[in-house]
Amino acid sequence: MIPLLSPSVPLQGGSGGVIEPLVTLALTVLIVAGFWKTFEKAGEPGWAAIIPIYNTYILIKIGGNAWWWLLLLFIPVINVFALAKISIDVAGKFGKGILFGLGLTFLSFIFYPLLGFGDSQYQDTTRLG
């Protein structure tokens, strides 16, 4: 009988050892750059994009939500819906629709650079003056 899995056959290829970290690093840099430019467009400091929980608070603030939405992100299952609502609100502040907001939620490595480097402008309707 021939064994299905031989101990000498690796389950993962060994050639991805260098490529995978480089792709991860590139995606991380892309997301941070997109966040940075998005924050600057909204009148917030760009460096806030690299501070872990503070950047989420700033996104909540950009979207016009109350600070306690940050607490909802720590509750399992509810956090997915809260993040979707926050992202939709951020997209709305830049003149984008619900589908773009869902793109910010689920494909952030594509949509935050589009938002940050694109030609959309921040439209804060809560500020008077």
* Closest C-alpha among 94, 35, 34 to residue 64: 94
Residue reference for tokens 């109350």 = 66
Q: Where are the domains of the chain?
A: 18-117
The mean pLDDT value of the chain amounts to 89
Which one is predicted more confidently, 20 or 81?
A: 81
SS3 label, residue 40: helix
pLDDT at 15 over 90: no
Which one is predicted more confidently, 65 or 13?
A: 65
pLDDT at 107 over 80: yes
* pLDDT of res. 124: 82
Percent of the chain residues topping a pLDDT of 90: 78
* Closest C-alpha among 74, 127, 123, 79 to residue 105: 79
Residue reference for tokens 């299905």 = 4
* pLDDT of res. 14: 58
pTM: 0.81
Cβ-in-10-Å burial (0-12, 13-18, 19+) of 36 comes to buried
pLDDT at 73 over 60: yes
Q: Which helix (H) or strand (E) holds 102?
A: helix 98-106
Give the model's confidence band at 128: pLDDT under 50 very low, under 70 low, under 90 confident, else very high.
Answer: very low
Q: Which helix (H) or strand (E) holds 58?
A: helix 52-62
For 11, residues 6+ apart whose C-beta sits below 8 A from its C-beta are: 5
